[in-house]
Amino acid sequence: MGPSGTGKTTLLKIIGGQLHPESGSIIVDGENVHQLARKDLYSLRKRMGMLFQSGALLTDMNVYDNVAFPLREHTDLDESMIRTLVLMKLQAVGLRGARDLMPNELSGGMARRIALARAIALDPMMIMYDEPFTGQDPISMATLVQLIKALNTTLNLTSIIVSHDVKDTAAIADYIYVISHGKIVGHGTPKEIENSESDWVQQFMHGEADGPVHFHYPAKAYIDDLLAFDKN
């Protein structure tokens, strides 16, 4: 967790091999992501589901074909088996009845859930969520929180959730890292974060307008700024 622009989505891109770190290493399931050959990187990515912030559904395909897409692209399964798997994934997110709808016919919450069904189509070992709760109404948000928690437990997944939604992320997280300007400023279980002695962490977790992160952007003294025009 952390404020906007602090590097959360960039971190996901580094884990997925879209961006290369200037230093250090990224180890996923024992493999150094940025030392893999392209073929091996693509193989690793098949085991890493991704829920994009926008959902990123393919707009010219209906719901069924969106979820079937990774299965058709990366497996040799026949259409009968693909149909079974697609219906299973849609059932898991509660939208099997929406399989014939087009993306422009879906609400924001429905689109996010279809994107989640697509993310688990290949039964990944890990799913990365980029701001899954952004722009969701309270009902859709509660549904997503429940889904993420249920899928994590049922499928024994590792989930990495990038978010600045404090309440809902803390409700389902086992461990939290709070980052600011690319640095870790606090980490621990939700309870440990709640009781953190860091003023910065407390300001973020409680949404306080002023604190270590100042309300005012750095500037010269206000009175000097006001009188500067007269001096000219």
Nearest to 155 by CA among 135, 179, 181, 127: 127
179 near 185, Cβ under 8 Å?
yes
**Any idea how long the chain is?**
232
Q: What's the distance, CA 39 to chain centroid?
A: 25
Residue type at position 218: P
pLDDT at position 80 is 92
CA distance 1 to 201: 10
Q: What is the pLDDT along the chain (232 residues), one digit of tens a residue?
A: 887 777 888 888 899 888 888 888 899 888 899 988 989 988 888 888 888 877 788 889 999 999 999 999 888 899 999 999 999 889 888 889 999 999 999 888 888 889 989 988 888 889 998 888 777 777 777 888 888 888 888 888 888 998 877 888 888 888 999 888 778 888 999 888 888 888 878 888 877 776 666 666 778 887 877 777 655 5
Sole residue written with tokens 């939208």: 95
160 DSSP β-pair partners: 128
CA distance 50 to 127: 6
End-to-end, the C-alpha distance of the chain in Å comes to 46
- For each of the domains in the chain, give its residue range(s) and CATH number, in order of start: 8-164 (3.40.50.300)
DSSP string, 42-54: HHHHTTEEEE-TT
pLDDT at position 215 is 64
pTM as predicted: 0.77
89 near 55, Cβ under 8 Å?
no
CA distance 67 to 82: 10
Cβ atoms < 10 Å from Cβ of 179 = 19
